[in-house]
Amino acid sequence: MSEAVLHVTVLGSTGSIGKNTLDVMARHPGRYRVFALSARQDWQTLLQQCQQFQPVYAVLTDPQAAKPLQDALVTAKLPTEVLVGDDALVAIAEDARTDCVMAAIVGAAGLPSALAAARAGKRVLLANKESLVLAGALFMAAVRDHGATLLPIDSEHNAIFQCMPAGYRAGMRAAHVEKILLTASGGPFRGCSGADLVAVTPEQACKHPKWSMGRKISVDSATLMNKGLEIIEACWLFDMPESAIEVLVHPQSIVHSLVAYADGSVLAQLGQPDMRTPIAYGLAWPERIPAGVPALDLLAAGKLEFEAPDESVFPCLRLAREAFRAGGVAPVYLNAANEVAVAAFLDRQIGFMDIPALVEQALSAVPAVTQLSLETLLAADTEARQRVSAEVAG
């Protein structure tokens, strides 16, 4: 009996996760159909994707990029309709004709569309960790209240999900799970001292030893803020207290994360450092399909090492834990300050170690907010960005 075709919307299709998602889908043409694609302004890559997958819609949030894409699609006689703006992202995420939404827009910009997909009851493949950092309670409530299926795509959280008991659903507290162990590669500066990092360049920070990623997430990996955000994400995804989430530096990036049970068992998920594995798991769950990733050869991999992170050199881990414990809009300030600081570092306006300093300064000025709605969260995000941008401008 033939399987029903899964219609997929890819939010952020021109980024690394988006491209890998389309790569996996292309390996199973009878099983998946692209419904819609989106990008910020890279209309040339989006055009190539439209030529290959012929989606119903292509969304660009930058209006200036929309016209050349529209003209190119008309010239190529392709039927894809071009939509423009943030509202269009929400529209394709909640459209009744799509079954599954890959939420892969980087940063806070990805929250409204990911939340719309959850509220529409979709299968949500969450690669945008900021959705849970900014709006964890709101997002998980939407998943529960609207019957959405939430599948984490970050390699670490996907690994944890795979190690949970049979029948596990995201947002539940799994019985007899005592601890979650998030692995971190340590980034390009593992073993460095604080003094070593003062003169770090953007090029050095973006040269990750194991993963091929975008510039922003590469810097987050170098500061370990990425792992700090993942601690917050894990708390919401797995309904665990922050104290039960431990970080282990594992430079080989083969053990993607571990789950410790009450009986002393520790289950781990191992694999190549290739994002197509968690993407394929999310697309096919609860089945497994070929993803184009070769099997792990443990003999070739050699030894597996683990060590504790040095939070005196990488304070972003501590700052993320403090923001989660503070609650309210503190995680919003954490994320917004980090995004502004990372952008400033990449533009060579500030130094590498100024990133955690600006984040800590922002966290010292978090206002008290009792009613957490999408509007209040986004307002806090804007306020935090303005505050940190002013600090950068000096």
Q: Which of 226, 199, 204 is nearest to 314 (CA)?
A: 226
Does the global pTM surpass 0.85? yes
Domain membership of residue 325 as a residue range: 177-269+300-386
Query: Do the domain assignments include residue 284?
Result: no
Of 393, 343, 354, 284, nearest in space to 27 by CA: 284
pLDDT tens digits, residue range 321-366?
999 999 999 999 999 999 999 999 999 999 999 999 999 999 999 9
Assess whether 138 and 212 both reside in one domain.
no
354 closest CA partner among 227, 233, 225: 225
pLDDT tens-digit series, residues 56-88: 999 999 999 999 999 999 999 999 999 999 999
pLDDT tens figures, 231-272: 999 999 999 999 999 999 999 999 999 999 999 999 999 999
The CA distance from 342 to 232, in Å, is 19
* 21 found inside a domain: yes
Q: What is the CATH number of the domain that holds 377?
A: 1.10.1740.10
Let me know: does 229 contact 130? Beta carbons within 8 Å: yes
What SS3 class is residue 357? Answer: helix
Distance in angstroms between the alpha carbons of the first and the last residue of the chain: 65
Q: How far apart are CA 355 and CA 314, in angstroms?
A: 10
- In the numeric block, which tokens belong to residue 96? 């009744």
Beta-carbon contacts of 42 under 8 Å, excluding residues fewer than 6 positions away, are 14, 65
Burial of 315 (0-12, 13-18, 19+ CB in 10 A): buried
> What distance in Å separates the CA atoms of residue 226 and residue 230, rounded to the nearest whole number?
6
Rg of the chain on CA atoms, in Å: 20
Other CB atoms within 10 Å distance of the CB of residue 62: 13
- What is the distance between the alpha carbons of residues 355 and 337, in angstroms, rounded to a whole number? 8
| Three-state SS at 40 | coil
One domain for residues 183 and 330: yes
Asked if residue 286 is part of any domain, the answer here is no
Q: What is the pLDDT of residues 48-60, one digit of tens each?
A: 999 999 999 999 9
Number of domains in the chain: 2
- CATH code for the domain in which residue 107 is found: 3.40.50.720
Question: Are residues 246 and 360 both part of a single domain?
Answer: yes
Cα of 74 vs its chain's centroid, Å: 34
Measure the CA–CA gap between 96 and 378, rounded to whole angstroms.
26
